[in-house]
Structure 1
Amino acid sequence: MGWDAEGQLKPAGDPAWRTQPSLDFATLCPFSPHAANEDVIAAECFSHAAAVDPAIGRFHRAYVGHAEEGQYRERGSSGGMAGWVAEELLRRGLVDGVAHVAPVDPAEGALFRYRISRNVDALRSGAKSRYYPIELSAILREILAIPGRYAVVGIPCFIKAVHLARRQHPLLRERIVHTLGLVCGHMKSRHMVESFAWQMQTRIEDVQAVDFRVKDATRPANWYRAKLTHRDGATRAQDWWHLVDGDWGSGFFQNRACDWCDDVVAETADISFGDAWVEPYSSDGRGTNVVVVRSRAMLDLIEQGCAEGRVTLKPVDAAFVVETQAAGFRQRREGLAYRLSWRHGAIRPLKRVTPGHDLPIRRKLIYRGRHAIARGSVALFRAARRLRRPALFIGGGRAMLTVYQALTYSRGRLGRLFDWLGPAAR
C-alpha cells in the first residue's frame, strides 16, 4: 500500500492484480460485488443473536453508558468502553494481542499505524479516535507469523475485510478470535491534518502528533477540539467549527470508497462502539458510548462488568442506536440509494440498498453538494499546496461550506425558500 495524490492509501504493487484479478482476490475486497455482504457474514458469525434489525443487523443487546472504573472514560474520545473491553480481553487472557491504531513518529511516513499491543500499557497509548488513513497488511502478516489469539479493532469495512480474509485463510480464522467495531462516518485523507496545520499557522513538517478530539468535561462532547503538538513541544489547538473542514457531515477529504458503504455500526463485529449523539449524552463532556453486542462471549463480558459495577450501561433498543447515528444512516441509506442511481453506464457497486432518486429537491442538492465537496476539497487542497497558497484552499473551502450549510440548515434565504416551496422541495 502507498500514498496516492489524494492523501489516501492505495495498492501500489504489480498492476496485474487489477487487470488480471483472480476470484480469490476479488472476494477479499469489502467493496467487491464478489464478496459476501454484511448480512451473510453476520448470519455466519452470529446465528444465535437474539434480534435482527434492518439498520444495525444481528445483535443480542444494545446499551448506552460508559466505563466506570479507572481512567478509561477520561482517556478515550467517548465513554471509554472500547478501551475497557480491549483491556479486559488481555487481562483475562482471552487474547494474546490486540490489533489497533496508535500514533507513530512522523519520520515513519505517517502519523498513525496499526500495531499489535500485547500488554495493557501498550494498549492504552492507542486510546482515542484517529481520523487518518491506515491499513491492515502489516498486522495481518504479524498474526500469520506469530502464533496466538488476537482481537482486531476497526471501522466497519476493516472488520468486514478481516472476516473475508478469515474465510480464505485457515490460520487467520484460527488466530483472530474477536473483532471490535467502531461506528464510522467516513475515512478522511491525511491531507486534513495538513489543512488543520495551515489554519493553525504552522507547517506540517513541524507537527509531531495530533489529537483530533481533545477531551474537556466542561464542554459538550460534540464540541470537537483539535490539537497539534510540534516537535519542540509547543502546541496549537482550535475548535473544529472554526476550521473550514471542521463540519464533518460536509464531507471534506472523504475517501471515495465511503460513498458506497452501507454499514454504519460495524455489523460484522462481535461488539461495536460509537458516540451517543443524542441528549442528554451529547452534552456530557465526559463522553458516552452506545454499544451493540453481537457475540455471546462479549455479552457475558459486558454483563459481568455491569454486575460488578465496573461499567455503567443501560439497555436500549435498536431505534435508540439508530437515533444516535441518524446522520450516518441518512447518508448510507437514503443518500446511498440516490448516489447509486447516478451510475448509469458504469460499474455499479452491489449494495444492500436499492438505487432510487425519489427524494425532495433539497435532499438531492445536499447529497450532490456533499459529493462535490468530497471531490473538490482534495483538488483545491492540491492546487493550494502546489502554489504554496494555503489561503486558496481556506477561502475556496469556506465558499463551498457556505453553500452546503445554506442547503443543510433551515435558516437564511435559501432555507426559507425551500420551506416556502413545501414538502416536495424540503
Structure 2
Amino acid sequence: MQLDRYGQMKPTGPKTWLRGRDEEFARICPFSPVAPDEDKLAAEYFSHAKNRDSFLGRYEAAFVGHVEEGGFRSSGSSGGMVTWVAAELLRLGLVDGVAHVKASDDPQSEGRLFHYSLSRNLQDLQAGAKSRYYPVELSGVLQLIREAPGRYAVVGIPCFIKAVRLACADDPILKERIAFTLGLFCGHMKSARMAESFAWQMGQDIGKVKRLDYRKKAHDRPANWYRAELTLENGETCAQDWWHLVDGDWGAGFFQNSACNFCDDIVAETADIAFGDAWKEPYSSDGRGTNVVIIRSTALLDVIDAGIAEKRIVLSHVDSDFVVATQASGFRQRREGLAFRLTWPRMGMRPRKRVHAGSHGLSRQRMAVYIMRNWISFWSHRVFLIADLLHSPRLYILWARTALACYHGIAYSRGPIGRIAQRLGLAGSEGRA
C-alpha cells in the first residue's frame, strides 16, 4: 500500500492483481464483490446476538456515556471509551498487544503523519488516543502480529475491521492471534491532502509540521465544534476552527476517499465492539465528549458491565433509534445516497452492496446534494494537486470556497446560490445534510 498523487492509500502490484483477477486479493478486499458482506460476517461471528437492526446489524447492547476514571476522557477526542476498553483488555491479560493508529515519530522522514503500531502497555496505548482523519494501512502491523505469538486487539474503521475478518478467514495465524476487534464509527475517510490544506490555511508548510491534532478538545466549547491544531518542528503551535477552514465542513466531502462512495457500513457491523460520538443533544454540546457504544461480543459486555459496576465508566442503555439518530446524516449518505449513486454509469467492477440501486422517491434537492458531494470529492483532489504543482495555495482555496458556497446553497438554502437553487427546485427548507 502506498500513497498516490492524491494522498490516498492504493495497493501496488501486478496488473492482474490490481484488476481483481487474483483470487486471494478478491477474498480479502473489503470492497470486493466476491468477499462475504457485513451481514454474512456478522452472522458468523455474532449468530446468538440478542438484537438485530437494519442499521446497526447484530448486537448485544448499546450504551451512551463516558469514562470516569483517570484521564481517558480528557485525552481522547470523545468520551475516552476506545482507549479505556483497549487498556482494560491489556490490564486483564485478555490481549498482549493492541494494533492502533499513532502519530509518526518523524513524519518528514516517514513521509506520513500517522501509521499503525502495536502497543503493549498503557503509556504507549494512550499515545494513540484521539481521532486521526488520515490515510493509513494495515499490512505492516498484521505482519508484526504474524511474527510475534500472542493475542491481539485491532482498532479500526469499518472497512478495516472487515478486512481483518476476511484476512483471518484466509490466514489461520491471524485467526488464532486476533482475539478482539474494536470498531470506530466512520462517515468517510480523508486523504493526506486535507492535512496539507489545513496547514496551508494556517500559513504553514506541511513539511514543518511535527504533529496534527484534528480535534483539540476544550471543555467550554461544544464537542462538535472541531478545532485543528498544528505543532511545528520548532515547538510552536497554531490552531483554527474547522468551520473557518474552506474545506472544514465534513459533510461537503472534501478529500473523501473514492471508495467511501461505495460503503454501507457506518458502525463497524463486523467488530466485537464499536464506538462513535454521541451527536445528539444534550451530549453534542458537552465539550468533555461522550461516546455511543455498540457491543456485540458477550466477553466485552462482561468487561463493560464490570466497569459500570465499579463506577469507572458511566454508561446508560440506549435503543437502536437513539444510536441511529446520532449518526443520521451518515446513514442518509451511506444508504439512500449509496442507492442513488449505484444508478450512475460506472466503468469497471461494480460493487455488490446490501442496498439496491434506485432513487427511492428522493427529492430533487436530495439528489442535488449527493451529486454535489460527489463532485466536490472528485475535484478537491485534482484542484489541490494542480495548486500544489503551481505553488499556488490561493488557487485551491478560492475554488474550495466557491464549491462550499454551492454546497451550502443546495444543502441548506444559504446565500444567493441558495436563492437560485430554490427557484430551480434544487433547494428547500430541509435543513439537513
User: Counterpart in 1 of 2:289?
Assistant: 287
- Alpha-carbon distance change, 47 to 119 in structure 1, aligned in 2, over 3 angstroms: same
Aligned residue in 1 for 2:401 = 398
Contact 2:410 2:427 in 1 (8 A): no
Structure 1: where are the runs of 5+ without partners?
none
The whole-number CA distance in structure 2 between the counterparts of 1:323 and 1:78 is 17
For the 8 Å contact 1:410–1:416, the answer to whether it is kept is yes
The 8 Å contact of residues 213 and 230 in structure 2, kept in 1 or not, is answered as yes
1:191: which partner in 2?
Answer: 193
Distance 1:253 1:300 in 2: 39
Going from structure 1 to structure 2, the CA distance change for 1:123 and 1:4 (only over 3 Å counts) comes to same
Q: 1:179: how far off?
A: 0.2
- Output the CA distance in 2 between the equivalents of 1:91 and 1:291: 20
- Taking the TM superposition and a 5 Å limit, the aligned residue runs for 1:232-271 are 232-271=234-273
- Residues 377/422 of structure 1: CA separation in 2 closer, same or farther (3 Å cut): closer
AA at the equivalent of 1:230: L
Structure 1 residue identity aligned to 2:147: A
Q: 2:64 maps to what in 1? A: 64
Question: Which residue identity does 2:365 align to in structure 1?
Answer: R
1:246 is paired with a residue of what secondary structure? coil
Deviation at 1:416, TM superposition (A): 5.7
Q: C-alpha separation between the residues in 1 aligned to 2:253 and 2:425?
A: 27
Equivalents in 2 of 1:21, 1:118: separation in Å? Answer: 38
Give distance in 2, aligned partners of 1:318 and 1:422.
Answer: 34
Find the aligned partners of 1:345 and 1:245 in 2 and give their Cα distance.
28
Distance 1:235 1:424 in 2: 40
Report the residue type matching 1:295 in the other structure: S
| Mapped contact 1:156–1:266 kept (Cα < 8 A) | yes
How far does residue 33 in structure 1 lie from its aligned partner after superposition?
0.2
Aligned-pair distance for 1:24? 2.6
Cα distance in 2 between the residues matched to 1:270 and 1:278: 24
State the distance in 1 between where 2:394 and 2:338 align.
Answer: 33
> AA paired with 1:267?
E
Letter aligned with residue 227 of structure 1: E
What is the Cα deviation at residue 16 of structure 1?
3.4
What is aligned with 1:311?
A: 313
Q: Any unmatched runs of 5+ in structure 2? A: none
Deviation at 1:20, TM superposition (A): 6.9
Specify the SS of the correspondent of 1:139. helix
Secondary structure at the aligned position of 2:154 is classed as: strand
In structure 1, what is the equivalent of residue 365 of structure 2? 362
CA drift at 1:347: 3.2
2:123 matched to which residue of 1? 121
Instruction: Work out whether 1:374 is the aligned partner of 2:377.
Output: yes
Mapped contact 2:410–2:426 kept (Cα < 8 A): no
What SS class does the counterpart of residue 219 from structure 2 fall into? coil
1:315 alignment partner AA: H
Which position in structure 1 is the counterpart of 2:73? 73
5 Å matches for 1:20-419?
A: 21-104=21-104, 105-106=106-107, 107-343=109-345, 346-357=348-359, 358-412=361-415, 415=418
Deviation at 1:127, TM superposition (A): 0.3
**Letter matched to residue 392 of structure 2:** R
Contact 1:360 1:424 (8 Å CA) reproduced: no
**SS at structure 2 position matched to 1:64:** strand
Shift of 1:108: 1.2
TM-score, normalised via structure 2 length: 0.95
Q: TM-score, normalised by structure 1?
A: 0.97
Q: Contact 1:133 / 1:190 at 8 angstroms: preserved in 2? A: yes
One-letter amino acid of the counterpart of residue 46, structure 1: F
- Structure 1 distance, partners of 2:255, 2:427, is 31
User: Secondary structure in 2 aligned to 1:368?
Assistant: helix
Whole-angstrom CA distance in 2 between matches of 1:195 and 1:418: 29
2:170 partner letter: Q
Answer yes or no: is the 8 Å Cα contact 2:254–2:376 preserved in 1: yes
Structure-2 separation of matches of 1:32 and 1:353? 15
- Deviation (angstroms), 1:235: 0.8
Counterpart secondary structure, 1:12: coil
Runs of 4+ in structure 1 deviating by more than 6 angstroms, as ranges, are 417-426
Mapped partners of 1:216, 1:285: distance in 2: 6
**C-alpha separation in 1, matches of 2:153 and 2:20:** 33
Offset at 1:205? 1.0
User: Which SS does the other structure have where 2:32 is aligned?
Assistant: coil
Instruction: Describe the SS at the equivalent of 1:16.
Output: helix
**Within 2, Cα distance between the matches of 1:139 and 1:269?**
18
One-letter amino acid of the counterpart of residue 53, structure 1: D
CA contact (8 A) 1:75 1:127 kept: yes
Partner amino acid for 1:42?
A
1:141 counterpart letter in structure 2: Q
CA distance in 2, matches of 1:192, 1:159: 24
Shift of 1:419: 6.5
Change (3 A) 1:71 1:249: same
Specify whether residues 393 and 423 from structure 1 end up closer, same or farther in structure 2 by C-alpha distance, changes over 3 A only.
closer
Q: For 2:28, what is the secondary structure of its paired residue?
A: coil
Please state whether the residue corresponding to 2:407 is helix, strand or coil.
helix
Query: CA RMSD for the aligned pairs?
Result: 1.6
Q: Is the Cα–Cα contact under 8 Å of residues 7 and 191 in structure 1 kept in the other structure? A: yes
